[in-house]
Amino acid sequence: MKKFTLIELLVVIAIIGILSSLLLPSLGKARSKSKAAVCLNNLKSINFALLMYSDDNSDYFVAAPSVQDSWDDLLIGYDGQNRTLDNGGGYKTEDYGESIKLYHCPENGYANDNGKINRSYAINAGMDLNVAGWKGVRGVSMLGWWTENGITTGPWSMRLSEVNDPSTAIIMSELNDDYETIVLGYNGQAALGIQGYMNHLKANPTKHVKAYAQNYLFADGHIGFHYAQSLAADSGVDVLTTDDARGTFFDCQD
């Protein structure tokens, strides 16, 4: 049997090292793309749940009635996730383990340090323009905190049929646990305006390989993977720094 010389072994090791350095970045990108695909499929499923809810509620989007109830609570019975109402405290891994996958993007941790299950998506926050014409929140559904603290006399959301140009109107996007607590069933970060979304994106801008790009669910049901600046449409604003959603893809009302 022929024995390899030390030089031959070193050459083989060097070749393996070179091949590994070429392959590892590709494998890393493939993993990131697969995670982005999971996020996309989650948004598709959440959209089906939103549509079923809307169909049962006179075409209205979910509207959180209080701090104790977030929009995802209202989708119980529509989202296919086996859970019961948590009464505002957030769903716990000790009760559900890792069974509630629909609201979890793999780029985030499944749960926080307190054992509360994370929610990786927020609905595009909106407000009745006749009550408060806030330029940064032009989405489809109001936070329960706003209702409970008297900004309106009751829960508010748009009808699906009222959305201006559904193909360019964002109704939901992704969150990052690097930036803020994002607990499933918890009012905080459940609905965000343009500035809130961009703060989350800037906390982890390359989570889906391409910088400042992530998945967005639009009112017509399609999911688009967009760079942040492309969402400005004809408004001319810098999406990453503005607090003005008017004329952007975050504007569902005008």
pLDDT above 90 coverage of the chain, percent: 56
| Burial state string for 206-220 with b = 16 or more CB within 10 A and e = fewer than 16 | ebbebebbbbbbbbe
SS3 state at 8: helix
72 in a structural domain: yes
* Mean pLDDT, rounded, for 193-199: 95
Question: pLDDT tens across 55-89, in order?
Answer: 999 999 999 888 888 999 999 999 999 888 887 77
* Mean pLDDT, rounded, for 149-175: 91
29 in a structural domain: no
Query: Which is more confident, 115 or 208?
Result: 115
- Asked whether the predicted pLDDT for residue 8 surpasses 70, the reply is no
Q: Can you give the residue range of the structural domain that contains 51?
A: 45-232
pLDDT above 70 coverage of the chain, percent: 91
For all residues of the chain together, what is the average pLDDT?
87
For residue 175, what pLDDT is reported? 94
For residue 87, what pLDDT is reported? 74
Identity of residue 45: S
- Residue at token pair 């905080």: 188
Q: Which helix (H) or strand (E) holds 230?
A: none
SS3 state at 148: helix
CA dihedral sign, ordered 239, 176, 144, 98:
positive
SS3 state at 20: helix
68 in a structural domain: yes
186 in a structural domain: yes
188 in a structural domain: yes
8 in a structural domain: no
Question: pLDDT tens across 104-147, in order?
Answer: 998 888 999 889 999 999 999 998 888 877 888 999 998 888 77
32 in a structural domain: no
Say how many domains are in the chain: 1
